[in-house]
């Protein structure tokens, strides 16, 4: 009895957290490095899912479909950054509005060119059970993949030289520029990586849902809330902390009252959290840490 | 054609110009006689084109004037429409009930907007969070309403109806007049209502309060430090814009007799943003014109397939943001203005000359000497020890995370005193200023200012008590003239009679009186610092906090600033100065307080401080 309940709650928690984390990761990287909210994020996810579906029915194995999605959407991200985002370095809200224009063009263009839906990818039939219930192994895989992505991101930010340059750019772009860091290149790279994560998210969730041009909105509402709660100061701390916290809020609400109450609960939770931590979890943590480090030095 | 430029670029003009009246009269006449020639179908269409005007005006007010972008206007549009529908379905469509339904719908919107606004504006979140959260609100509302199909989702007798929405909604009824689709009453209501709203919002924006709203957009923190309750004003503007969106929602349900989740959703959320972006968010009239014309274009395109209308919206958003970020209608207006600019400039110069001659220096100095404002500042003839205490800081502490930025600091400042605050970098000087003005709240300790405990007060109330600050990095309103800059400061008594003299007096102290009608952004670095001191003085403080007033100045300019500060203290103003420049401190010195590692390290007259061995070691760098 207890094991059924605990198993179910753990599974739901992992499922919710994976969804929030994968939805938000690409968005929060772009926010952290470029200080821009990419409102076309949902459409990048949609492109990822569409590319996965098309390549799946072209006969490629599933893993290769995922790789193709990531590559395609990353390249598209480079294109967007070079031709649009780049021109808004001084006007962040302007960039946001422009990316919204892009999102409308992509979703409506897809609708006009490819029609109202895309053939879904069948869900891999992996099952396992805890107690009396059986669960989808694919969804657990999503959770594991989400954690691996965070780990890869951590390796990049803290173990690779380019990662240190990226963090330097995030802290003080002018300073980074003047010691010879190619901040423009880092911006493009960050946008490409953020877009690539979005593409992967789309591909990973393609087997679990119906593929329609507006499918991105399913992800974006949650991604926005996760990013607001996480804050852009440190993408890793922000994404991980915020998705875990929000999954803790959403899991009991969703299991007892349904998905929609769960989502309203998340919005209210986000409002309460930013009242206390206006810069999100990562802003709060970074503030604490940087001041702490200063004391230690003195 | 010559009058278009004036009415299109109307921000900052205080009067309704004659061309505006002409256009308005012409438009009104057209609107009134149009039904005589038009079919019922055409009238119904016109209502549709004007239906989004209130929502777009609200967004222009919120975004273009107050600087906060919201993607959630359609959420308020939808909430009002749904609540009105639910109310009238339950209580009938009589005159009283439809009016109550309108009030219920608007009240629901106001409550949601105030709740939402409280958290985001009092949290003082970054600029990008509000658009993102309002968009999330819209998306969640759409998802919620979309899944309400079925009998279990009902309020009283009203079924929410899922994706089908609510149908057969009764229009507003006033006695025998029904504001139903296709009627002349709805036509006049929406078209005349839009014009009246334009005038009302325009009046608000051009008023003194409107100047503060625009000042919030330009520099939120500076405006807060000029004594305005910025968070509250932002919430109020947010609620007003939500109510305007709600009004559009009401006209929408009267016009079409139905409402469904798609009118609340992602794609509809684009509509008001596109209208304001294409029109020019900083101009209400441009927004209104673009709203009516784009609704027309959108309607035309929808006839050829709804997807194309949305696609065109996307292309418009991207294109305008890339190539014409101020908005197409506004840019055209400004181009016209430039074409006629020679005429404009001569007119404007004449006006400035006339205004300037009224404020002749003699008249001003005579009157301001007699002006009661200066009497507030006590005379500086008393000995220091005999003067009453103005600011008493007792054992305040402030820590951030792990570090104690300020620990157990006490400070007593008497009226008319000039106190210098020195100390190495990171000693907590600016933090102490922020604690005194209220940008940070202290963890413990008390602060008594002029006999009143101020430590629990928010910053704007402390400014109103008589504390004022000049920031370390210069912060002024670059896009406004010097006169407008000085106008923005909060006035407790709402006194505007002496204003011209006040401005003149403050600027003439700095020798800047001839720049009064020039843009602040064109001043030199030093003049900007002086203007910021004038701004701080414009709140009529008893205590002035100056954070490094001479940074980046030449020795001569430093000397002038020192003169000025001395002159201010002679008039009785109490001043605390943070400085690093010892030469400057020698010129003005009175009492000096040395902060070190968040504590008061030494305090006394300058000569004593300069001979103090430990101070020389930690601060002046001697071994």
Burial track B74-86 (b if 16+ CB lie within 10 A, e otherwise): bbbbbbbbbbbbb
Instruction: Look at A207 and A259; give whichever has higher pLDDT.
Output: A207
Under 8 Å between Cβ of A68 and A61: no
Rounded Cα distance between B49 and B486, Å, is: 41
Mean pLDDT along residues B483-505: 67
8 Å CB contact of B131 and A111? no
Q: Please say if the pLDDT value at position A267 is more than 50.
A: yes
**For residue B430, how many C-alpha atoms fall within 13 Å in the half-sphere facing its CB?**
11
Predicted confidence at residue A264, as pLDDT, reads 85
Under 8 Å between Cβ of B576 and B546: yes
Q: How many Å lie between the alpha carbon of A101 and the closest alpha carbon of chain B?
A: 4
Q: Please say if the pLDDT value at position B350 is more than 50.
A: no
Q: Nearest CB to A100: which of B144, B317, B426?
A: B317
pLDDT tens for B36-77 read: 888 888 888 889 889 999 999 999 999 999 999 999 999 999
Instruction: Look at A273 and B380; give whichever has higher pLDDT.
Output: A273
Predicted confidence at residue B337, as pLDDT, reads 73
Rounded Cα distance between B552 and A253, Å, is: 57
Q: Nearest CB to A102: which of B69, B318, B401?
A: B318
Instruction: Look at A75 and B351; give whichever has higher pLDDT.
Output: A75
- Contact status of B304 with chain A (Cβ, < 8 Å): no
Rounded Cα distance between B561 and A58, Å, is: 76
Burial track A91-127 (b if 16+ CB lie within 10 A, e otherwise): ebbbbbbbbbbbbbbbbbbbbeeeeeebeebeeeeee
- The DSSP element (H or E) to which B154 belongs, if any, is strand B154-155
In this prediction, residue B506 has a pLDDT band, given cuts at 50, 70 and 90, of: low
Q: How many Å lie between the alpha carbon of A248 and the closest alpha carbon of chain B?
A: 19
Mean pLDDT of all residues belonging to chain B:
82
8 Å CB contact of B273 and A93? no
In order of A285, B533, B594, B621, the CA distances from B578 in angstroms are: 30, 14, 10, 18
Q: Give the highest mean pLDDT range of A195-209, A256-270, B600-614.
A: A195-209
Predicted confidence at residue B504, as pLDDT, reads 64
8 Å CB contact of B140 and A263? yes
Rounded Cα distance between B418 and B438, Å, is: 21
8 Å CB contact of A104 and B270? yes
Number of domains in chain A: 1
Mean pLDDT along residues B584-598: 84
pLDDT tens for A217-252 read: 889 988 999 999 998 888 889 999 999 999 999 888
- Helix, strand, coil share (%) of chain B residues, nearest 5: 60, 10, 30
Burial track B127-139 (b if 16+ CB lie within 10 A, e otherwise): ebbbbbbbbbbbb
Q: Please say if the pLDDT value at position B372 is more than 70.
A: no
In this prediction, residue B10 has a pLDDT band, given cuts at 50, 70 and 90, of: very low
- Contact status of A185 with chain B (Cβ, < 8 Å): no
Predicted confidence at residue B91, as pLDDT, reads 92
Under 8 Å between Cβ of B220 and B281: no
Q: Give the highest mean pLDDT range of B146-155, B250-259, B369-378.
A: B250-259
| Stretch among A83-87, A100-104, B399-403, B425-429 having the lowest mean pLDDT | B399-403
Predicted confidence at residue B518, as pLDDT, reads 83
Q: Residue A94: closest CA among chain B residues belongs to which residue?
A: B321
Mean pLDDT along residues B458-469: 90
Predicted confidence at residue B424, as pLDDT, reads 82
Q: What would you measure as the largest C-alpha separation in chain B, in angstroms?
A: 94
CATH number assigned to the domain covering B4-16+42-339: 1.10.3470
CATH number assigned to the domain covering B384-466+578-623: 3.40.50.300
Instruction: Look at B61 and B149; give whichever has higher pLDDT.
Output: B61
Mean pLDDT along residues B395-419: 86
In this prediction, residue A38 has a pLDDT band, given cuts at 50, 70 and 90, of: very high
Q: What percent of chain B has pLDDT over 70?
A: 85
Q: Nearest CB to B400: which of A35, A217, A287?
A: A287
- Which tokens hold the place of B502? 């006040």
- Contact status of A214 with chain B (Cβ, < 8 Å): yes
- Which tokens hold the place of A157? 């930010």
* CB-CB neighbors (< 8 A) of B322 in chain A: 84, 87, 98
8 Å CB contact of B123 and A275? yes
Residue listed under structure tokens 């009661």: B372
Mean pLDDT along residues B347-373: 40
- Contact status of B323 with chain A (Cβ, < 8 Å): no
CB interface of A with B, residues 24-53, below 8 Å:
31, 35-37, 39
* CB-CB neighbors (< 8 A) of B403 in chain A: 291-292, 294-295
In this prediction, residue B375 has a pLDDT band, given cuts at 50, 70 and 90, of: very low
- The DSSP element (H or E) to which B91 belongs, if any, is helix B73-91
All residues at 6 or more sequence positions from B489 whose CB lies less than 8 Å from its CB, including other chains? B226, B227, B535, B538, B539
8 Å CB contact of B144 and A260? yes
What is the domain range of residue A122? 2-297
Mean pLDDT along residues B252-272: 89
8 Å CB contact of A31 and B128? yes
Predicted confidence at residue B247, as pLDDT, reads 96
- The DSSP element (H or E) to which B129 belongs, if any, is helix B129-146
- Contact status of A287 with chain B (Cβ, < 8 Å): yes
Beta pairing, strands B543-547 & B389-400: unpaired
Rounded Cα distance between B432 and B417, Å, is: 18
Q: Please say if the pLDDT value at position B623 is more than 60.
A: no
Predicted confidence at residue B174, as pLDDT, reads 87
Q: What percent of chain A has pLDDT over 70?
A: 96
Q: How many CB pairs under 8 A join A and B?
A: 144
pLDDT tens for A95-149 read: 999 999 999 999 999 999 998 888 888 888 888 887 778 888 899 999 999 999 9
Under 8 Å between Cβ of A99 and A87: no
8 Å CB contact of A260 and B147? yes
Q: Please say if the pLDDT value at position B405 is more than 50.
A: yes
| ipTM for the whole predicted complex goes beyond 0.90 | no
pLDDT tens for B186-244 read: 999 999 899 899 999 998 988 888 889 999 998 899 999 998 999 999 999 999 999 99
In this prediction, residue A289 has a pLDDT band, given cuts at 50, 70 and 90, of: low
- Which tokens hold the place of B549? 């007033």
Predicted confidence at residue B495, as pLDDT, reads 54
Mutation site, B64, B66, B126, interface A, largest A CB count within 10 A = B126
* CB-CB neighbors (< 8 A) of B71 in chain A: 100
Q: What are the domain boundaries of chain B?
A: 4-16+42-339, 384-466+578-623
Under 8 Å between Cβ of B387 and B417: yes
Bridge partner list, B577? B420, B546
Instruction: Look at B539 and A240; give whichever has higher pLDDT.
Output: A240
Predicted confidence at residue B380, as pLDDT, reads 44
Q: Please say if the pLDDT value at position B561 is more than 80.
A: yes
Task: Tell how far CA A141 is from the center of its chain.
Answer: 16
What CATH code is carried by the domain that includes residue A216?
A: 1.10.3470
Q: What percent of chain B has pLDDT over 90?
A: 28
In this prediction, residue B612 has a pLDDT band, given cuts at 50, 70 and 90, of: confident
Residue B546: name the closest of B602, B468, B605 by CA.
B468
Cβ-based burial of B385 (10 A; exposed 0-12, middle 13-18, buried ≥19) = exposed
Q: Please say if the pLDDT value at position A278 is more than 70.
A: yes
* CB-CB neighbors (< 8 A) of A87 in chain B: 322
Beta pairing, strands B591-596 & B418-422: parallel
Q: Residue A111: closest CA among chain B residues belongs to which residue?
A: B307
Q: Which of helix, strand or coil describes residue B219?
A: coil
Predicted confidence at residue A129, as pLDDT, reads 82
CB interface of A with B, residues 159-178, below 8 Å:
none
Rounded Cα distance between B584 and B224, Å, is: 29
Under 8 Å between Cβ of B131 and B70: yes
């Amino acid at each position: 009895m207890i094991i059924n309940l605990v198993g179910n709650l753990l599974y739901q928690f992992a499922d919710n957290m994976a969804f929030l984390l994968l939805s938000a990761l690409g968005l929060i990287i772009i926010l952290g490095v470029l200080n821009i909210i990419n409102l076309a994020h949902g459409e990048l996810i949609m492109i990822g899912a569409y590319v996965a579906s098309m390549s799946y029915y072209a006969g490629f194995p599933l893993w290769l479909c995922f790789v193709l999605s990531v590559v395609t959407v990353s390249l598209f991200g480079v294109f967007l950054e070079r031709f649009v985002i780049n021109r808004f370095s001084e006007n962040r809200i302007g960039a946001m509005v422009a990316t919204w224009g892009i999102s409308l063009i992509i979703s409506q263009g897809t609708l006009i060119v490819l029609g109202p839906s895309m053939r879904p990818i069948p869900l891999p039939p992996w099952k396992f059970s805890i107690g009396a219930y059986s669960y989808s192994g694919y969804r657990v895989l999503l959770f594991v993949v989400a954690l691996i992505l965070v780990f890869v991101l951590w390796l990049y930010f803290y173990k690779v030289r380019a990662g240190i340059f990226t963090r330097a750019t995030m802290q003080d772009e002018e300073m980074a520029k003047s010691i010879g860091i190619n901040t423009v290149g880092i911006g493009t790279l960050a946008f490409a990586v953020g877009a690539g994560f979005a593409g992967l998210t789309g591909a990973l969730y393609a087997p679990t849902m119906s593929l329609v041009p507006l499918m991105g909105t399913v992800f974006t509402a949650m991604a926005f809330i996760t990013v607001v709660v996480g804050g852009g100061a440190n993408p890793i701390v922000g994404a991980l902390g915020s998705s875990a916290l929000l999954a803790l809020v959403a899991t009991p609400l969703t299991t007892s009252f349904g998905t929609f109450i769960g989502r309203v609960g998340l919005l209210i939770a986000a409002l309460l959290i930013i009242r206390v931590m206006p810069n999100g979890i990562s802003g709060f943590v970074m503030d604490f840490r940087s001041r702490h480090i200063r004391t230690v030095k003195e | 054609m010559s009058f278009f430029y004036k009415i299109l670029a109307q921000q900052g003009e205080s009067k309704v110009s004659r061309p505006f009246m002409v256009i308005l009269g012409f438009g009104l006449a057209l609107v009134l006689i149009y039904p005589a020639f038009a079919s019922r179908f055409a009238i119904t269409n016109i209502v549709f084109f004007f239906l989004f005007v209130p929502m777009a005006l609200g967004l222009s007010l919120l975004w273009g004037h107050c600087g906060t972008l919201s993607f959630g206007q359609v959420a308020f549009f939808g909430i009002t429409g749904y609540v009105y529908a639910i109310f009238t379905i339950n209580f009938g469509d009589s005159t009283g009930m439809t009016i109550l339904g309108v009030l219920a719908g608007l009240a629901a919107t106001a409550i949601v907007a105030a709740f939402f606004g409280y958290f985001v504006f009092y949290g003082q979140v970054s600029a990008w969070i509000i658009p993102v959260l309002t968009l999330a609100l819209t998306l969640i509302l759409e998802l919620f309403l979309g899944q309400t199909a079925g009998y279990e989702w009902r309020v009283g007798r009203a079924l929410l109806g899922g994706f089908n929405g609510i149908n057969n909604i009764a229009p507003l009824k006033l006695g025998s007049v029904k504001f139903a689709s296709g009627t002349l009453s709805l036509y006049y209501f929406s078209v005349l209502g839009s014009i009246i709203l334009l005038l009302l919002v325009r009046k608000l924006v051009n008023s003194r309060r409107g100047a503060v709203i625009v000042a919030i957009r330009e520099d939120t923190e500076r405006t807060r430090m000029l004594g305005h309750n910025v968070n509250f004003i932002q919430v109020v503007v947010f609620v007003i814009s939500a109510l305007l969106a709600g009004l559009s929602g009401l006209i929408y349900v009267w016009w079409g007799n139905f409402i469904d989740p798609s009118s609340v959703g992602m794609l509809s959320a684009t509509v008001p943003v596109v209208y304001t972006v294409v029109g020019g968010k900083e101009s209400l009239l441009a927004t209104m014109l673009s709203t009516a014309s784009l609704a027309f274009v959108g309607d035309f395109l929808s006839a050829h397939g709804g997807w194309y209308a949305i696609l065109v919206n996307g292309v418009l958003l991207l294109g305008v943001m890339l190539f014409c970020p101020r908005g197409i209608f506004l840019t055209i207006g400004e181009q016209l203005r430039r074409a006629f600019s020679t005429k404009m400039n001569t007119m404007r110069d004449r006006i400035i000359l006339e205004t300037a001659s009224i404020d002749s220096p003699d008249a001003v100095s005579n009157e301001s000497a007699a002006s009661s404002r200066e009497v507030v500042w006590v005379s500086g003839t008393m000995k220091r020890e005999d003067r009453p205490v103005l600011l008493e800081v007792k054992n305040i502490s402030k820590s951030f995370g792990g570090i104690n930025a300020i620990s157990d600091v006490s400070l007593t400042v008497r009226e008319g005193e000039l106190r210098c605050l020195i100390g190495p970098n990171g000693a907590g000087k600016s933090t102490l200023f922020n604690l005194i003005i209220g940008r940070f709240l202290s963890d413990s300790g008390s602060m008594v200012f002029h006999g009143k405990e101020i430590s629990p007060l928010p910053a704007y109330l402390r400014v109103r008590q008589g504390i004022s600050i000049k920031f370390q990095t210069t912060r002024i309103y670059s896009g406004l003239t010097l006169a407008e800059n000085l106008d923005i400061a909060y006035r407790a008594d709402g006194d505007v009679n002496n204003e011209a003299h006040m401005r003149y007096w403050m600027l003439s102290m700095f020798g800047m009186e001839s720049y009064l009608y020039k843009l602040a952004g064109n001043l030199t670095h030093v003049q900007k610092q002086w203007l910021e001191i004038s701004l701080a003085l414009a709140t009529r403080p008893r205590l002035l906090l100056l954070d490094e007033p001479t940074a980046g100045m030449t020795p001569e300019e430093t000397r002038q600033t020192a003169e000025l500060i001395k002159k201010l203290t002679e008039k009785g103003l109490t001043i605390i100065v943070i400085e690093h420049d010892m030469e400057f401190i020698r010129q003005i010195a009175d009492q000096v307080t040395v902060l070190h590692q968040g504590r008061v390290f030494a305090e006394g007259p300058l000569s004593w401080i300069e001979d103090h061995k430990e101070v020389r070691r930690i601060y002046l760098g001697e071994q």
